[in-house]
Amino acid sequence: MKGRRLATIDEIIAIESPNSDETLARLETWATDRGIGLSTVDVGDDISDVYDETSATLGVTLGGDGTFLEGIKTFAPRNIPLIGVNTGTLAFLARVEPDDLEAALDETIRGRASVDSRQQVRVDAPDVEATGINDVMLQQVPPENPIDRKITRLDVYADDEYVGEFDGTGLAVSTPTGSTGVSLSANGPVHYPVNNHTLQIVPLHTHKLGVRPIVVSPSTEIRIETQGQASMLVDGGRAHTVLSQGDEIVVTGAEQLAHVVRTSYDDHFFTAISKKLGWGIRDAGVPEAKARDGTDGAASATDPTAEEGVDTIERALTIATEAAEAAGEPLRELHGQVESIDVKSDKSDIVTEADHQADRVITTVIRNEFPDHAIFSEESVRQTNADGDYTWVVDPLDGTGNFAHGNPNYSISIGLLEDGVPVMGVVYIPETDELFSAIAGGDVRKDSEPIVTTDRDSLDESMLISGYDPDGTFLTHFYQESRGVRRLGSAALNLCYLASGSADAVWERDTYPWDIAAGLVIARAAGAEFTDETGEPFEFSLDTDEQRTLLGSNGSLHPEILDHLESGLAVPNRSKSVDFAQDGPTEAVADDQ
């Protein structure tokens, strides 16, 4: 989960432990002042009566680590991010102090916090199926007769490969979040838990000098067979059972990750363990030059991209990238539901919700970071502060037809205009996690790699892409003369594929500003040339009433395409388009992309 997505939070559910009344009162005042809903439940109670799955919800725990673990148990299955406020005593996990409550939450709803994806552990055992954020502990059951055996023997397998016999007081299977002390006692490592998706098998009071902790992937199936009675606890007893001789348990990484919010007001992980474990490497403190404002990857309270001297457009590129990647998360989640729905109206509802959620993330992030800039969006077409120098042009979901049919060819397009001219563009493809970005006159990249258009100058060697072409003019006139004409259903993607050399030319019968604002910057920076169908330079405009034809190419191919296009424009209109697949033409009704 991306921290920028937290900017859309409109509801908080707080889990309260005893003796947290004063902190809860501060939270209530903060939420009321900002118009954010707040529901509270006592630790251990169900939240079903107060949770609305249609709201953008933040979980808050008020207590120590025990309350935080209850929050993980409650919020993780619902994919709700959690921030822990420490009103207890010893806390490794709940690391926001009450005095910093308001500042930490302000940072969160501005989208400037980070979200750690924490690995959970899943266990299947007799009478128990449970998930935990810390560990699964298997220990000997104390004998009734003090002279009976006080150890337990466990046979351990990893993906059906026999690991060996663990002979001692037991073992723990822990996540990077849990059992730091247990690991240290067995001469194991300290795991930095941020986005660390591993599991660790740790022997407890082993009777064999050669037995050491083992680190495995979360997909590893750890099978444990008991040679006698053993007590099993998940997360310190949140699930518990007593195993008999010959019982088998299976432990693996849980598919559902826990999402933990980290702000610049948290204790840093290494600061926390230094304070609580007396870590000798930090006895001298932290030199000022080596200190960091952020925690566990969180943004600092003063965003580094907002520092004086950072160019507005460069900063905009950073913010647009973060906004696009954050908006991609709800699109991927909703896209995964489309294919399971048969009713057309229900699919339409999902597409509408996807558009709305992505637009809300993007526009909220932009308003937070650039309150004086105008925003022009397809989903909520509006223009504010129109007299300013900068206008953002946003298409939160380009390729809605593809999205509605489960096709992965959809994208997010975010462009920035300076005095009406496109100067920055970001196009993100959620399903493939590809990001195209450029600043006018500067570098253009796909992810971190530079891209450039092709240099082909012969039509019969070129691959073309067609956008909206209702009467099939472009398809019919160019298919045989080229190496093929493709239609992807997303104008923003068309322009990015031209920029990266996946196509040599692009045709759009008519364009909307939100479809092309970002792609124009990206393709031009990569070397593309753009005109209308007559060869006149293409001029970008925010006017949505005027049909504007766009022809883009690698530049060297442009004259031949213009010559060929001119003769083809006289082809009579047809009621149906002709869509050419690789194997030949088939008749297809044109649809809006």
Q: Does residue 495 have a known ligand-binding role?
A: no
Collect all residues with Cβ–Cβ distance below 8 Å to 304 and sequence separation of at least 6. Answer: none
**What is the three-state SS of 162-220?**
EEEEEEECEEEEECCCCCHHHHHHCCCCCCCCCCCCCEEEEEECCCCCCCCCEEECCCC
Contact 466, 474 (CB under 8 A): yes
Q: Is the dihedral of CA 176, 182, 183, 184 positive or negative?
A: positive
Concatenating the DSSP letter of every residue in 456-494 gives ---GGG--EEE---TT-HHHHHHTTTSS-EE--S-HHHH
Q: Does residue 395 have a known ligand-binding role?
A: yes
Buried b (16+ CB within 10 A) or exposed e, 311-345: eeeebbbbbbbbbbbbbbbbbeebbeebeeeeeee
Buried b (16+ CB within 10 A) or exposed e, 277-299: eeeeeeeeeeeeeeeeebbbebb
Give the Cβ contact number of residue 148 at 10 Å: 8
- Token match 């892409």: residue? 465
Buried b (16+ CB within 10 A) or exposed e, 503-531: bbbbbbbebbbbbbbbbbbbbbbbbbbbb
Q: Does residue 346 have a known ligand-binding role?
A: no
Give the Cβ contact number of residue 547 at 10 Å: 10
Give the Cβ contact number of residue 51 at 10 Å: 18
Q: Does residue 235 have a known ligand-binding role?
A: no
Distances (CA, A) of 180 to 92, 93, 280: 10, 12, 16
Distances (CA, A) of 101 to 30, 53, 86, 87, 522: 9, 25, 10, 11, 42
Q: What DSSP designation does 228 have?
A: S
Q: Does residue 124 have a known ligand-binding role?
A: no
Q: Does residue 199 have a known ligand-binding role?
A: no
Contact 216, 198 (CB under 8 A): yes
Nearest to 340 by CA among 398, 256, 405: 405
Q: Does residue 397 have a known ligand-binding role?
A: yes
Nearest to 509 by CA among 480, 476, 539, 533: 533
- Token match 């539901």: residue? 337
Q: What is the set of active-site residues?
A: 65
Nearest to 311 by CA among 477, 186, 397, 423: 423
Contact 159, 239 (CB under 8 A): no
Cα–Cα distance between 572 and 318 in angstroms, integer? 47
Cα distance between the two ends of the chain: 28
Q: How many residues are recorded in the chain? A: 593
Alpha-helical runs (H) found in 472-554:
473-478, 491-500, 513-525
Nearest to 136 by CA among 202, 226, 71: 202
Cα–Cα distance between 541 and 583 in angstroms, integer? 38
Q: Does residue 510 have a known ligand-binding role?
A: no
Q: Where is the binding site for Mg(2+), in residues?
A: 378, 395, 397-398, 515
Q: Where is the binding site, in residues?
A: 65-66, 134-135, 150, 378, 395, 397-398, 515
Q: Where is the binding site for NAD(+), in residues?
A: 65-66, 134-135, 150
